[in-house]
Amino acid sequence: MKEVNLSMVPEAQVGDYVLVHVGVAISVVDEEEALKTFEYIKQIGELNELNPDEIHSTNQQLKKR
Amino acid sequence: MKHLSEYRDAALVNELVEDIKAITTKPWTIMEVCGGQTHSLVKNGIIDMLPKEITMVHGPGCPVCVTPISIIDEAITLSKKPEVILCSFGDMLRVPGSDRSLLEAKSEGADVRIVYSPLDAVKLAKENPDREVVFFAVGFETTAPANALSVIQADKLGIKNYSILASHVLVPPAMEAILSDPETTVNAFLAAGHVCTIMGIDEYYPIAGKYKVPIVVTGFEPVDLLQGIYMTVRQLEAGESNVENQYVRVVQREGNLLAKDAIDKVFEVSDRDWRGIGNIPSSGWEVNNRYQQYNARKKFNLQPVEVKENKNCIAGEIMKGKKKPFDCPLFAKACNPEHPQGAPMVSSEGSCAAYYHYSNSNLVAENIY
């Protein structure tokens, strides 16, 4: 069992995952954003099956993220 | 484990590799700045999966590797003082100074102890009031908040027998030093996710703008790295040079404000020598005036001594992205992790050590056998 200093993530709640570096938690892992990664990958996979015009517009959407 | 296994998913990795292949039309050189990323790229075989047009080069992002020999000598000098308990992260112990390592100093009787956190060193100081505890505070922006916190804690608790030997280096000035080299081959950067967890991403906009390079803040797992590379290549192919954040689940644009406050409280910007690269102006942090009593250099009146590197070692060119570990005549011969001759071989996060341990390329085989 390791002791972790939570003074730099006061927003952390029981049940949260935190990123710990040398005994100090430095960030709370954002569940929603973690899921978005996989949506992004799905989107770029679909992108490769589109025609060039559609690629451009989807590219614009991805850039806005 | 949550947020880990899905980022190592083989099917997703293959899908991303195909996605990258589909958009790559020209040769590009991309540098990852963090040693953790170098390690993951090589260990997971990602470098060999990328289309041949994409060359990954490995920046000076291993804190152990870029710590100058002169500072390791300072730590060894301190460790030999009978009153001193020298505390360090484990990976600093094997790094050779000019004539020995901390591990060798320990075997000769110095009181050198491995700690997991600088906060453990403060505890040790409290438990040993008749000794002087010095923490060897090595690291990038990621490690600085914990080191600052140790000083703030010691000060609050009135612990006077604690100090730190700071060797803090900063990523953005190193990126600028690499980009302003006229011979640079670097077209884009994967920025270090955990450094940005602390500092945020704003300091990369001026660099992307000035040098016209895409900078994508990226995580450390295979899916993270490949997604970061995809985002980078997409920008390169489109002629863009923006800052993007792949590692959104951990990195917020403004970084961690409380961590930045702790850093500001204890440290001030200073020039720094980087092992293998040389001096980079305003590229480090030193303990500021307010906390001088916690600065080991001041407390023990250490005088820096100039130390020469092995001149056959091409570490500087490797860390600037101009050469690969295989290009070095010493690689896997005179230079190996047991007897490192230069910076990138000393820690498992160094690019030479990563290639030595994990790369199954024929070039390595030729060199070793």
| pLDDT tens readout for residues B231-241 | 999 999 999 99
Confidence at residue B368, expressed as pLDDT on a 0 to 100 scale: 37
Confidence at residue A47, expressed as pLDDT on a 0 to 100 scale: 64
ipTM: 0.88
- Whether A59 is covered by a domain: the verdict is yes
Contact A7 B234 (CB under 8 A): no
- Whether A53 is covered by a domain: the verdict is yes
Shortest Cα–Cα distance, A8 to chain B (Å): 6
| pLDDT tens readout for residues A20-63 | 999 999 999 988 888 887 788 788 777 665 544 544 555 555 55
Tokens of B130: 């008749």
Quote the number of domains for chain A: 1
* Contact partners, residue B145, CB within 8 Å, separation at least 6: A8, A24, A26, B198, B256, B259, B260, B262, B263
Contacts of A62 in chain B (CB under 8 A): 234
Considering only CB atoms, B248 lies closest to which of A7, A30, A59, namely A30
Return the bridge partners of B133, or none. B85, B162
- Whether A40 is covered by a domain: the verdict is yes
A38 touches chain B (CB under 8 A): yes
* Contact partners, residue A11, CB within 8 Å, separation at least 6: A28
Confidence at residue B3, expressed as pLDDT on a 0 to 100 scale: 64
- Size of the A and B interface in Cβ pairs below 8 Å: 97
Contacts of B145 in chain A (CB under 8 A): 8, 24, 26
Chain B residue with Cα closest to A63: B244
Q: Which residues constitute the domain of residue A59?
A: 30-64
A64 has pLDDT over 90 = no
Considering only CB atoms, A23 lies closest to which of B117, B224, B262, namely B117
- Whether A9 is covered by a domain: the verdict is no
- Whether A57 is covered by a domain: the verdict is yes
- Whether A52 is covered by a domain: the verdict is yes
Contact A21 B22 (CB under 8 A): no
Chain A interface mutation, best of B7, B248, B261, B349, highest count of A Cβ atoms under 10 Å: B248
Cα torsion through B328, B331, B335, B340, rounded to 10: 80
- Whether A16 is covered by a domain: the verdict is no
Confidence at residue A13, expressed as pLDDT on a 0 to 100 scale: 94
- Whether A41 is covered by a domain: the verdict is yes
Contact B238 A59 (CB under 8 A): yes
Going from the C-alpha of B362 to that of each of B55, B98, B323, B366, the distances in angstroms are 17, 33, 17, 6
Q: CB count, 10 Å around CB of B352?
A: 34
Confidence at residue B369, expressed as pLDDT on a 0 to 100 scale: 29
Chain A interface mutation, best of B92, B136, B149, B250, highest count of A Cβ atoms under 10 Å: B250
Those residues of chain B whose CB sits closer than 8 Å to some CB in chain A are 2-3, 6-7, 12, 15-16, 18-19, 22-23, 89, 116-120, 139, 142-143, 145-146, 149, 194, 197-198, 223-224, 227, 230, 234, 238, 242, 246, 248-252, 256, 258-259, 262
Going from the C-alpha of B202 to that of each of B198, B243, B252, B364, the distances in angstroms are 11, 9, 10, 39
A50 touches chain B (CB under 8 A): no
B67 dihedral zone (left: phi>0; alpha: psi -120 to 50; beta): beta
Confidence at residue A49, expressed as pLDDT on a 0 to 100 scale: 59
> 3-state class of A36 per DSSP?
helix
Q: Which of B61, B14, B53, B54 is nearest to B37 (CA)?
A: B61
Would you give per-residue pLDDT tens digits along chain B (369 residues)?
Answer: 566 678 888 899 999 999 999 999 999 999 999 999 999 999 999 999 999 999 999 999 989 889 999 999 999 999 999 999 999 999 899 888 888 999 999 999 999 999 999 999 999 999 999 999 999 999 999 999 999 999 999 999 999 999 999 999 999 999 999 999 999 999 999 999 999 999 999 999 999 999 999 999 999 999 999 999 999 999 999 999 999 999 999 999 999 999 999 999 999 999 999 988 889 999 999 999 999 999 999 999 998 787 877 788 898 889 888 899 999 999 999 999 888 888 788 887 899 999 998 876 544 444 432
A51 touches chain B (CB under 8 A): no
Confidence at residue B363, expressed as pLDDT on a 0 to 100 scale: 45
Chain B interface mutation, best of A18, A39, A41, A61, highest count of B Cβ atoms under 10 Å: A41
Please give the Cα distance from B212 to B184 (Å, whole number): 13
| Residue with tokens 């961590």, as numbered in its chain | B259
Handedness of CA B159, B162, B166, B170 (dihedral sign): negative
